[in-house]
Amino acid sequence: MTLCKIKTRSLEVGISGVKERKNHGKARTESQESAPRADGIGLCKEGQIYIAEAALIQNAKVDKEHDDSWKVKRAMRDSWISQMKALCKTALPHTGMRVFGSSSFNAETKFYALDFSGAFRLYQINKMTIPLEKESFAPLMRACLTRCLEFGLYLLWEIESRKNATTTKPLTAKSRCLKKKKKKG
């Protein structure tokens, strides 16, 4: 993320989209739910475009893999909804808007993307295995770095698409009416 100049935060960062979902419809005077925490996030103007969860590289608890994977995927969905609401206030979002996530367990990391096309679609973009043995370290570490940079490029492309969308102002009701009159006349 640093090489791609994407702002990040790490170590138990609150997930804003989940907090919004949990507190939806509650008055400010009511008790508010706190945000669950992720191990890392990547930031875009509209919110958290990337959410990461990681377990220990060795001797991780078996339940942690399933729990983290579910947590990341649910948080990605909530973040997508939150960011779509924010984007729609100022622009027409681009088709195929995505959010990203990763889940790491033992030495394996899986990279995900989530978009919406009539239904939420979650797909695994790539995965990598961190080399833990001296003999295979050099070639496997090169593959890991390549996959990380590719993933960073996915995020950059998404951020650029969103920047382009924000330059397009949505039509007001008055301008829509004027367009209809011009087509008829």
Asked if residue 173 is part of any domain, the answer here is yes
CA-CA distance, 4 to 18, in Å (whole number)? 26
Asked if residue 2 is part of any domain, the answer here is no
Read off φ and ψ for residue 9, nearest 5 degrees.
Answer: -140, 145
Instruction: Supply the DSSP string of 48-91, one letter for each residue.
Output: EEEEEEE--SSS--HHHHHHHHHHHHHHHHHHHHHHHHHHHTTS
> How many beta carbons lie within 10 A of that of residue 162, not counting itself?
20
Asked if residue 165 is part of any domain, the answer here is yes
Residue 60 or residue 169, greater confidence: 60
Asked if residue 100 is part of any domain, the answer here is yes
pLDDT digits (tens, 9 = 90+) for 125-182: 999 988 888 888 888 888 888 998 999 999 999 988 888 775 555 556 666 566 566 6
Supply 36's token pair. Answer: 């669950």
Count helices and strands in the chain by DSSP H and E runs: 4, 6
pLDDT at 24 over 90: no
Asked if residue 29 is part of any domain, the answer here is yes
pLDDT given for residue 5 in this prediction:
78
pLDDT given for residue 6 in this prediction:
80
Its domain, for residue 19, covers 8-184
Looking at the 3D structure of the chain, how many domains does it have? Answer: 1
Asked if residue 1 is part of any domain, the answer here is no
Asked if residue 97 is part of any domain, the answer here is yes
pLDDT given for residue 94 in this prediction:
76
pLDDT given for residue 55 in this prediction:
83
> How many beta carbons lie within 10 A of that of residue 131, not counting itself?
17
Residues 42/6, Cβ–Cβ less than 8 Å: yes
Asked if residue 132 is part of any domain, the answer here is yes
Burial 88-114 (b: 16+ CB within 10 A, else e): eeebebbeebbbbbbbbbbbebbbbbb
